[in-house]
């Protein structure tokens, strides 16, 4: 389905109305680190859990360029909310891009409706960026696989019900990625939830660990029904996640900028509003430029994704720049607000706590630089 500018405008207007409605409750939910069940139910009703899932399977089928704008708007109000549906959609994308037709018809309608929600489950206690070092294994047993291991830092793990689970079906293979597979893994016997993890920021959203103890899955749940392609399937879906995280970065950077513009006109020192001091003007100019540059990079990556192009370099650039913009803008907003920025009565300290996650999640920014450099060399051989 093709979306024109008018259709996109209607969708974004609906998101704006939703955000006006929920904004008054965000500060307290954040302070209480409380899962926003009512807000999640509203997002489900709006169809956000099926935002980029093909309409053939019950989703909205939005272009990623439109989806990124939705993420930016929501992150500008409360970044945590974007993790609830983004992590879920990465899981869905792994099925939509690489699953069999039977798998798509079985699982995608459940994901699109929000009846089943979850995430991509990659990270383990001793393994994050280096995914080939995972220890979770799946051993074939007749028509099933028996899985043992653990995962941590998984968004939606407490309130979710299904995960795209990265395992090793052949731990002896070298290179390791050739022995890795990705499974559709609903909660069930042998799926043991661990503790909710306490975090600096990204409050409200459930992030936890879980353990797999002789957890049995049908062989039909192996995405693509072929072993050995799990890392490629996970990374293929992560391109969407990186564009999302980049859009979140714009949201946080924009929120920091908007609050700073407003505050700088209200706060006076030495007989005039601080926005008239050159030092503050320089901060505001740099903050605004970062937001606009990040927005252009994200739209470039999203457009490439929509075309079906390989876009790991574009997504990496967008993720790197936009999340660093969030880091810089949140820090500068804190300086502009002074002591009030340090107070929990204002939102600025939340931006400052949320931004570091974006520089780490969906592949650290150090990793993005390596991805970008490798693509530059590959595309420009001597």
Catalytic residues: 362
- CB-count exposure of residue 180 (10 Å: 0-12, 13-18, 19+): buried
Does residue 296 contact residue 318 with C-beta atoms inside 8 Å? no
Euclidean distance between CA atoms 338 and 332, whole angstroms = 10
Euclidean distance between CA atoms 371 and 382, whole angstroms = 19
- Six-digit token string for 171: 């731990």
- What residue spans of the chain are helical by DSSP H? 5-32, 37-46, 64-98, 101-113, 230-266, 278-307, 312-337, 339-342, 348-360, 365-379
Does residue 294 contact residue 325 with C-beta atoms inside 8 Å? yes
Helix (H, G, I), strand (E, B) or coil at 163: strand
- Name 117's bridge partners: none
Backbone dihedral region for residue 267 (phi beyond 0: left; psi -120 to 50: alpha; all else: beta):
beta
**Residue that has been written with the tokens 């540059």 in this structure:** 293
In this structure, the number of other CB atoms found within 10 A of the CB of residue 154 comes to 25
Does residue 185 contact residue 121 with C-beta atoms inside 8 Å? yes
Contacts made by residues 29-33, CB under 8 angstroms, sequence distance 24+: 29/78, 29/203, 29/204, 30/78, 30/80, 30/203, 30/204, 30/350, 31/203, 31/344, 33/203, 33/204
Does residue 43 contact residue 159 with C-beta atoms inside 8 Å? no
């Amino acid at each position: 389905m093709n979306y024109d500018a008018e259709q996109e405008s209607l969708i974004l207007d609906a998101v704006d109305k939703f955000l006006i409605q929920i904004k008054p409750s965000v500060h307290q939910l954040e302070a209480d680190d409380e899962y926003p069940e009512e807000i999640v139910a509203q997002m489900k009703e709006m169809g956000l859990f099926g935002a980029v899932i093909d309409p053939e399977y019950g989703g909205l089928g939005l272009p990623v360029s439109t989806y990124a704008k939705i993420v930016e708007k929501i992150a500008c109000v409360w970044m945590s909310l974007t993790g609830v549906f983004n992590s879920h959609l990465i899981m869905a994308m792994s099925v939509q891009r690489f699953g069999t037709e039977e798998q798509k018809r079985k699982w995608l309608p459940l994901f699109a409706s929000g009846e089943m929600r979850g995430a991509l489950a990659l990270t383990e206690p001793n393994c994050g960026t280096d995914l080939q070092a995972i220890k979770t294994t799946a051993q074939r047993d007749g028509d099933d696989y028996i899985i043992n291991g653990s995962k941590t830092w998984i968004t939606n793990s407490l309130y979710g019900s299904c995960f795209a689970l990265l395992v090793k079906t052949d731990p002896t293979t070298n290179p390791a990625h050739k022995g890795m597979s990705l499974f559709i893994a609903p909660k069930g016997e042998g799926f043991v939830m661990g503790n909710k993890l306490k975090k600096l920021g990204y409050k409200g959203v459930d992030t936890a660990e879980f353990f797999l103890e002789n957890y049995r899955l049908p062989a039909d749940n192996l995405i693509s029904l072929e072993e050995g392609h799990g890392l490629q399937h996970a990374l293929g879906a992560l391109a969407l996640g990186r564009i999302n995280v980049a859009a979140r970065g714009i949201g946080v950077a924009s929120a920091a900028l908007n609050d700073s513009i407003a505050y700088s006109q209200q706060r006076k020192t030495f007989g005039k509003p601080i926005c008239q001091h050159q030092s503050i003007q320089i901060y505001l100019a740099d903050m605004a430029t970062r937001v606009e540059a990040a927005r252009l990079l994200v739209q470039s990556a999203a457009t490439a994704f929509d075309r079906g192009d390989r876009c790991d370099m574009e997504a990496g650039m967008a993720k790197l720049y936009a999340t660093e913009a969030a880091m810089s803008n949140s820090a500068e907003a804190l300086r502009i607000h002074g002591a009030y920025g340090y107070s929990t009565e204002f939102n600025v300290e939340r931006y400052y706590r949320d931004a570091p996650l974006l520089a780490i999640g969906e592949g650290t920014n150090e990793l993005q630089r390596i991805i970008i450099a490798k693509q530059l060399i590959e595309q420009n051989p001597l």
